[in-house]
């Protein structure tokens, strides 16, 4: 599997952000720190580290945190108009399981199964740019 990663403009790839998305992203980031931590590292293990749909999609990098301090990087890329739309289902599930989380950022991932390539680039206006090499 070939891997490419670099930052580049997001021109021509659909909506980038608006005031409602900025507010939603901010709320998701804030709510991740307010979870009453009840989950454990086994709960953390139940989340796949990476779920990336085939095609070009917005992605988010989320750092899930168990009460004992164990951390796991989780990447999600899926259809959604905004990065917060991609992050929201994962964040809700993490909160339901009693796990805190941080969202260092997002961007876009292009997954090409025919050519066995993954390209990671760009940034999220709502969440910022994470270290793509971690994703």
Return the sign of the alpha-carbon dihedral for residues 49, 79, 22, 17.
positive
* pLDDT at residue 16 greater than cutoff 80: no
The single residue of 3, 63, 83, 123 carrying the catalytic annotation is 83
Question: Which pLDDT band, with edges at 50, 70 and 90, does 20 fall under?
Answer: confident
pLDDT tens digits for range 77-104: 999 888 999 999 999 999 889 899 999 9
- Which is higher by pLDDT, 23 or 74? 74
Question: Could you give the CA distance from residue 13 to residue 126 in angstroms, rounded to a whole number?
Answer: 16
| 47-78 exposure pattern, b = at least 16 Cβ within 10 A, e = fewer | beeeebeeebbbbbbbbbbbbeebebebbbbb
Q: Is 83 a catalytic residue?
A: yes
Would you say the pTM of this structure is higher than 0.85?
no
């Amino acid at each position: 599997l070939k891997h490419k990663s670099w930052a580049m403009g997001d021109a021509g790839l659909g909506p980038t952000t608006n005031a409602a998305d900025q507010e939603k992203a901010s709320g998701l980031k804030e709510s991740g720190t307010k979870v009453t931590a009840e989950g454990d590292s086994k709960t953390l293990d139940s989340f796949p580290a990476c779920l990336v749909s085939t095609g070009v999609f917005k992605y988010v990098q989320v750092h899930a945190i168990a009460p004992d301090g164990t951390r796991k990087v989780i990447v999600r890329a899926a259809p959604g108009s905004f990065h917060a739309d991609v992050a929201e289902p994962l964040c809700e599930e993490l909160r339901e399981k009693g796990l805190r989380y941080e969202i260092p950022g997002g961007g876009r991932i292009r997954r090409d199964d025919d050519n066995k390539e993954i390209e990671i680039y760009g940034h999220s206006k709502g969440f910022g740019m994470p270290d793509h090499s971690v994703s």
